[in-house]
Amino acid sequence: MSDHMWRAVDDYFTQTLVKPDATLTSALARNAAAGLPPIDVAANQGKLLYLLARMMNASRILEIGTLGGYSTLWLAQALPENGKIVTLEFSPQHAQVARENFAAAGVAEKIELLVGPALESLPGLQGPFDMIFIDADKRNNPHYLRWALKLARVGSVIIGDNVVRNGRIVDSQSPDENVQGLRQYLRDVGGSPHLTATALQTVGSKGWDGLQLAIVESLPD
């Protein structure tokens, strides 16, 4: 099957199952106008994040990698009235666009956006978080995983995005540091006595990629 068909199926699912949302559509338009890379999750993937957060009654969510805040907005919709998202973004430009999106959507009070390298922000956070979504620079995923476990509770869910990378994840000799970071991350997830995990391939409007999901069974000493 072609990329065209993958996109057509995603469009069908979105039109059939994902209700139009003006704030989300406006956020994508604002991201594009600001020149942000078009690497936001697809609408049906955003809805999946929303559903996962709802299913686990998440009230505190950590997102590593904000971009323009499109996935953050999906997660914010899943929160209870007193819920909170902490989202970490390296780029001040991206963070400014995200803030505009949060304000336009009326959810800014639910979101704490920290700007700078995530590995500098993470030590200052107070857990536990019910759900942790890792979607930043993949070379640092092993470090993000260690912090996720420190900031989790038993029963927390850890989700890693973009773990297939058009199939390059199976190339042990890849010179791409993001591929190697993801390979180490997946080894760490699979080898951790504290996690039960799986990963799924996806095809769609974002090409050939996938998600890793894990539940925290116990906490490190």
Q: Which residues contact 195 (CB under 8 A, 6 or more apart)?
A: 149, 158, 189, 214, 215, 216, 217
pLDDT at residue 1 greater than cutoff 70: no
pLDDT reported for residue 60: 98
Query: 115 in the Ramachandran plot: left (φ > 0), alpha (ψ -120 to 50) or beta?
Result: beta
Over the stretch 57-114, which tens digit does the pLDDT of each residue have? 999 999 999 999 999 999 999 999 999 999 999 999 999 999 999 999 999 999 999 9
Secondary structure (3-state) at 155: strand
As a three-state string, the secondary structure of 187-218 is: HHHHHCCCEEEEEEEEEECCEEEEEEEEEECC
Residue 67 burial by Cβ neighbours in a 10 Å radius (0-12, 13-18, 19+): buried
pLDDT at residue 2 greater than cutoff 90: no
Going from N- to C-terminal start, the domains of the chain cover 3-216
Fold category of 3-216 in CATH = Rossmann fold (3.40.50)
Over the stretch 138-189, which tens digit does the pLDDT of each residue have? 999 999 999 999 999 999 999 999 999 999 999 999 999 999 999 999 999 9
